[in-house]
Amino acid sequence: MTLQPILIDGAWEQARAVDGSFYAMNPATKAALPFEYPVLGLADVERMIGAAQQAVTELRAISPEQIAQFLETFADNIEARKDELVEMAQQETALGKEPRLGSVELPRTSNQLRQAATAARDRSWCMATIDTASNIRAKFGPLGGPVVVFGPNNFPYAFNSAAGGDFAAAIAAGNPVIAKANTSHPQTTKLLAEAAFDAVQATGMPKAMVQLLYRTKPDVGLKLVSHPQIGATGFTGSKNAGLKLKAAADAGGKPIYLEMSSVNPIFVLPGVLAERSQALAEELVASCTLGTGQFCTNPGVVVLMDDAASQEFTQKLAEIMAAKPNGTLLGAGGPDGIAHALKVWQEHGAELVVGGKPVDGPGYSFSNTLMRVSGADFLANPEALQEEAFGVATLLIFAESAEQMRQIAGSIEGQLTGCLYTNSQGLDDEMYDLIEPVLRQRVGRLLNDKMPTGVAVVPSMNHGGPYPATGHPGFTAVGIPASMLRFAALHCYDNVRPHRLPAELQDKNPTGSMWRLIDQVWTQGDV
């Protein structure tokens, strides 16, 4: 059978350097899907990098307006091919067609592309800074090499390497992209890359603006992210794979932005249980089971005081969770990964409350699971008990005192999010003040009275956090334009003659509306 073509240097071609092949699986049936994909060798990867370098050169003559048009055309193309994309993603991921794929994730994805287009056109993202007395001017610009994007398995559109948040941010900042498909949904990724490439052609972008590969042997992937001619890498996926790529990229001096793992602790303080235990139990289980628990922001750890109200709350959680249908996981690794994490938890003192077993059936599934552990046991082995179970599996930690709860917060590793639920009348405020400062510095996004699973695409979002949730505490993977700064270099112009300056740094505001910091004042005006 013919292998699926890769997108390389402006053409859908058979791979030349093939180092094996693979199929994707339908997780709902465990059956192989019909398409066969090449595992790419180094020669084709290097050809992609060379073509991307040519795109970097051609991009110097491409305006922000043209990049915006490309992103918007791509968004239109995705919406036009919605039925096909939903059909394929459902086969490859077992995620629900409606509302999840068709009405939530797909519109979110095209919306992200349009937000990126708006940011590219607006130009404020580049933080143009002008000091008139010294005639020194600076802004962020493209990296000078392609951005390599590795997408995760859990969001086939919104974090897709050929259409998702990293892709949109990299393109809007003026870089070409080399997309590495997640191997659990390669055909969805191919459809998206087709839609992207159609937009490349329709809007006169450099032909290697978007390229696609499906898989490489590990050593070739390490060469890719550390290659002297790439700009940076965006990776969303497992800590294991992320850390290997990070080591290679770091050694090559190449920026890599990783979103790796997070257990998103939720602190439920006593006063809120007194107020609305039942509603909160329902809210928590709804968040835990969203996407069969396979969200980066899934609540993996819940911290409670060890008292009667918490025992009752646990009982409610267990009942609601047991009554929920067990979802289908994204792949064969799902049940094994959850079982492994539960085993690690149990070895360090955790006990099963409900669930805990793989589910027999046509698809990959695991029973909705709750476990519990004492605060003392958690503090004895905080790292093992923060092992991520990527699915519906949450660990309840019972603290014996407010001070122990603070210590638990202090043993939390870097996470994407941390939540505090408290009494609406202020009864928990003293405990909040004890715990919040400790938690604050360990999480990217701190929430009150809200589950972490919703990630709004707004400028103030931080979908990031301290290591090991990500590789750098200063950057976010979601939220435009902030996410674009990951894929930009700071370009200073010192005494450069006026007509040679980029438009964003000339005296006259190039759009009449972009924000610039001129002599320490943010303004939309001219110099």
Q: Which residues are catalytic?
A: 259, 296
Closest CA to 328 of 294, 286, 370, 355: 294
Q: Is 83 exposed, middle or buried (0-12, 13-18, 19+ CB in 10 A)?
A: exposed
- Give the pairing type, strands 369-374 and 351-354: antiparallel
Applying CB under 8 A, does 425 fall inside the site for a copy of itself?
A: no
**Cis link prior to 99 (omega < 30° from 0)?**
yes
Minimum CB distance to a copy of itself, residue 462 (Å)? 3
Nearer to a copy of itself, 129 or 182 (CB): 129
Stretch that binds a copy of itself, among 94-102, 148-156, 213-221, 486-494 (CB under 8 A): 486-494
Applying CB under 8 A, does 488 fall inside the site for a copy of itself?
A: yes
Applying CB under 8 A, does 2 fall inside the site for a copy of itself?
A: no
Residues between 120 and 149 that touch a copy of itself (CB under 8 A): 124, 129-131, 133-134, 136-138, 140-144
The answer to whether 301 and 394 are in contact (CB under 8 A) is yes
Closest CA to 101 of 22, 171, 213, 185: 185
Q: CA-CA-CA-CA torsion for 112, 117, 118, 121, nearest 10 degrees?
A: 160
Minimum CB distance to a copy of itself, residue 442 (Å)? 7
Minimum CB distance to a copy of itself, residue 337 (Å)? 22
Minimum CB distance to a copy of itself, residue 346 (Å)? 26
Minimum CB distance to a copy of itself, residue 264 (Å)? 12
Torsion 239-189-163-224 (CA) sign: positive
Binding mask 36-65 for a copy of itself (x = CB under 8 A): --------------------xx--x-----
Minimum CB distance to a copy of itself, residue 22 (Å)? 31
Q: How far apart are CA 130 and CA 143, in angstroms?
A: 21
Stretch that binds a copy of itself, among 149-157, 217-225, 396-404, 469-477 (CB under 8 A): 469-477
Nearer to a copy of itself, 101 or 130 (CB): 130
Place of tokens 């905080």: 382
Q: Which residues pair with 328 in a beta bridge?
A: 365
In one-letter notation, the amino acid at residue 146 is P
Position among 308, 323, 360, 495 found at the interface with a copy of itself (CB under 8 A) = 495
Q: How far apart are CA 234 and CA 189, in angstroms?
A: 16
Position among 459, 506, 510, 527 found at the interface with a copy of itself (CB under 8 A) = 459
Position among 440, 507, 508, 526 found at the interface with a copy of itself (CB under 8 A) = 440
Backbone angles phi, psi at 507, to 5 degrees: -55, -45
Position among 43, 322, 446, 527 found at the interface with a copy of itself (CB under 8 A) = 446
Applying CB under 8 A, does 382 fall inside the site for a copy of itself?
A: no
Position among 471, 477, 504, 509 found at the interface with a copy of itself (CB under 8 A) = 471
Applying CB under 8 A, does 251 fall inside the site for a copy of itself?
A: yes
Minimum CB distance to a copy of itself, residue 448 (Å)? 5
- Both structure tokens of 436: 């919040």
- As a three-state string, the secondary structure of 475-513 is CCCCCCCHHHHHHCEEEEEECCCHHHCCHHHCCCCCCCC
Applying CB under 8 A, does 427 fall inside the site for a copy of itself?
A: no
- Both structure tokens of 57: 């050169």
In the three-class reduction of DSSP (H, G, I as helix; E, B as strand; rest coil), residue 188 is classed as helix
Backbone angles phi, psi at 149, to 5 degrees: -120, 125
Applying CB under 8 A, does 402 fall inside the site for a copy of itself?
A: no
Stretch that binds a copy of itself, among 178-186, 262-270, 346-354, 444-452 (CB under 8 A): 444-452
Backbone angles phi, psi at 274, to 5 degrees: -65, -30
Applying CB under 8 A, does 492 fall inside the site for a copy of itself?
A: yes
Give 61's contacts (C-beta < 8 A, 6+ positions apart). Answer: none
Nearer to a copy of itself, 183 or 264 (CB): 264
The answer to whether 329 and 364 are in contact (CB under 8 A) is yes
Applying CB under 8 A, does 240 fall inside the site for a copy of itself?
A: no
Position among 247, 352, 359, 503 found at the interface with a copy of itself (CB under 8 A) = 247
**Cis link prior to 468 (omega < 30° from 0)?**
yes
Nearer to a copy of itself, 129 or 326 (CB): 129
Applying CB under 8 A, does 253 fall inside the site for a copy of itself?
A: yes
Minimum CB distance to a copy of itself, residue 431 (Å)? 13
